[in-house]
Homo-oligomer: A and B are copies of this chain.
Amino acid sequence: MAAEPDAAFAAWWAERRSAARLSVTPVPFRELPHWSFTRDGDLVHDSGRFFRVSGMRVQGPWGAGSGHRDQPVIVQPEIGVLGLLLKRIDGEPHVLLQAKAEPGNIDGIQLSPTVQATRSNYTRVHRGGATRHLEHFAGPGRGRVLVDSLQSEQGAWFWRKHNRNMVVEPVGEVAEHPDFRWIALRTVRRLLRVDHLVNMDTRSVLGCLPVELEADAAAGTVPDDGPPTEAARDGSTAHRLRAITSWLIDAKQHCPWQSGLVPLAAVEGWSRTETEIADEAERSFRIIAVQVEAGTREVRQWSQPLLAPRRPGLAVFLCRLTAGAPRVLVRARAEPGLGDLVELGPTVQWSTDDGPASPEEAGPYDGTALTDDAARVRFDAELSEEGGRFHRAATRYRIVEADGAVPDQVPDDHRWLTVHQLQALVARGHHVNVQARSLLACLASLR
């Protein structure tokens, strides 16, 4: 099991943590240099770059009241790169991870992908950008691309955010640096079980990595859309995928929501104080401002807004791992910030772990997902969401064996999919939400 001695990793990690300390202090909005509120109330950076906090309005069939729900939302229209380098060392697939501090992180540093680059980093790569290792993902030095797709991020908090998720086998030398470390994939799988250690971006990319691909990577026999083993077993794989995508398009078409951006000042039910933008019911997230100071060596200091949830969320896959091809129960889930509104999500996904935050979040398997039966709980950890935009945002991720608790026939917004089918949909991009991709990464840790 131990592909790498725990002690070596722990020593590196402790050293990195002391080297990368961030001091993060909440400040009033007026103490955010370079950030200001527009006449419409949006919170924007002077340069017009990075991101802005605006408003989102969702029209829906909610009958009573205004007929719409409003909230602040993070708008960041560019496509960034989340890139992972993968190579075989002594026959064993390893990935190059980075110890990276983000201001919203719960535990200081987390294991991040090789590269988290913005569009402007990426397009400047030919001039030798500042983002380390980016040359393996773009331009003439790009390695062998194993995974490359556009994937959404939290549709409850972001307006149509998507990032390019890549796994690349490098062709040239990969420079060493103390913040980066080649770690066996087997070890990474194990580390996923540690609370708040493997960051969201790493999980998102790992969730795009088919298990077969891992095994075959660097052996020159990389399979494609449909994993070959299953394709060989089942000549109708593609037929089934078509039926699944038709079902997902049905869900998109039936979704009665219409969402759009509105000025933050027009958002109803939320108000702004000197230090936060919050909903009057105090049930949703807050927008706050922080000042960040990076200690050691070169002193670096900046300020930025963060989206701060009040509680952790919950994301659970019910699954059947014991008989035949492993299957998971997905749910077609609407989130107002997603481009098509609906993507495949976990069986159960709550904004807060103390219960469904709205009637749509409730589902028939909520109780099963929260079972205490240790024999059925195959994975249970509290992991962090993106610390560059969210303040201490966590989700409790669980994988629970369904046993006989869930029949084959499920309500029409649910479907049993094989892990292979789900991975084929991930490969197409914009089909599987970020929580479900995280769970796919965690699921691989059970093998």
- A415 at interface (Cβ–Cβ under 8 A)? no
Contact A254 B148 (CB under 8 A): no
Interface pair A148/B252, CB less than 8 Å apart: no
Q: Are the CB atoms of B253 and A77 closer together than 8 Å?
A: no
Which residues of A line the B interface, CB within 8 A?
77-79, 81, 119, 122-123, 138, 145, 148-150, 164, 222, 224-225, 238-239, 241-243, 245-246, 249-250, 252-254, 256, 258, 260-261, 339-340, 428
A164-B253, A224-B238, A258-B77 as given contacts; A245 in contact with B122, CB under 8 Å: no
Q: How far is the CB of A86 from chain B (nearest CB, A)?
A: 15
| A79 to B79 CA separation, bound complex (whole angstroms) | 25
> How many angstroms between the C-alpha atoms of A79 and B252 in the bound complex?
8
B224 touches A122 (CB 8 A): no
Q: Is the CB of B77 within 8 A of A150?
A: no
A144 to chain B, nearest CB (A): 10
**Residue contact A148 to B245, C-beta cutoff 8 Å:** yes
Check B253–A79 contact: CB distance below 8 A.
Answer: yes
Q: Is the interface of A mostly helix, strand, loop or mixed?
A: mixed
Cα of A238 to Cα of B245 in the assembled complex, Å: 19
- Chain B residue with minimal CB distance to A238? B224
Distance to closest chain B CB from A239 (angstroms): 6
Contact: B246 with A150, CB < 8 Å? no
4 additional contacts, CB 8 Å, given A119-B253, A145-B243, A148-B242?
A: A148-B245, A150-B249, A164-B249, A225-B238
The reply to whether A150 and B428 contact each other, CB–CB distance below 8 Å, is no
Kindly identify which residue among B77, B79, B148, B249 contacts A148, using a CB–CB cutoff of 8 Å: B249
What B residues does A339 contact at CB under 8 A?
339
With both beta carbons as reference points, the residue of chain B lying nearest to A117 in the complex is identified as B253
Task: From known contacts A145-B246, A246-B145, A261-B260, infer whether A150 and B225 are also in contact, taking CB-CB under 8 Å.
Answer: no
B residues less than 8 Å from A150 (CB atoms): 249, 252, 340
Which are the 7 A-B pairs with shortest beta-carbon distances? A224-B238, A79-B253, A148-B246, A77-B258, A145-B246, A225-B238, A339-B339
- Tell me whether A253 and B123 are in contact in the complex, defined as CB-CB below 8 angstroms, given that A77-B258, A258-B77 are known contacts: yes
Q: In the complex, A224 Cα to B122 Cα: how many Å?
A: 35
A225 to B138, CA, bound (A): 28
* Cα A48 to Cα B119 with chains together (Å): 37
Contacts of A253 in B (CB 8 A): 79, 81, 119, 122-123, 164
A/B interface sample: 10 pairs, CB < 8 A: A77-B260, A79-B249, A79-B253, A81-B253, A119-B253, A123-B253, A148-B245, A149-B245, A224-B242, A225-B225
Chain B residue nearest in CB terms to A122: B253
Q: Which of A243, A260, A340 has the largest number of chain B CB atoms within 10 A?
A: A340
**A252 neighbours in B (Cβ, 8 Å):** 79, 150
Residues of B within 8 A of A78 (CB): 258
Give the chain B neighbours of A239 by CB distance below 8 A: 222, 224
How distant is A279 from chain B, measured CB to nearest CB, in Å?
A: 25
Q: Which residue of B lies closest to A428 (CB)?
A: B428
In angstroms, Cα B123 to Cα A253, docked, is 8
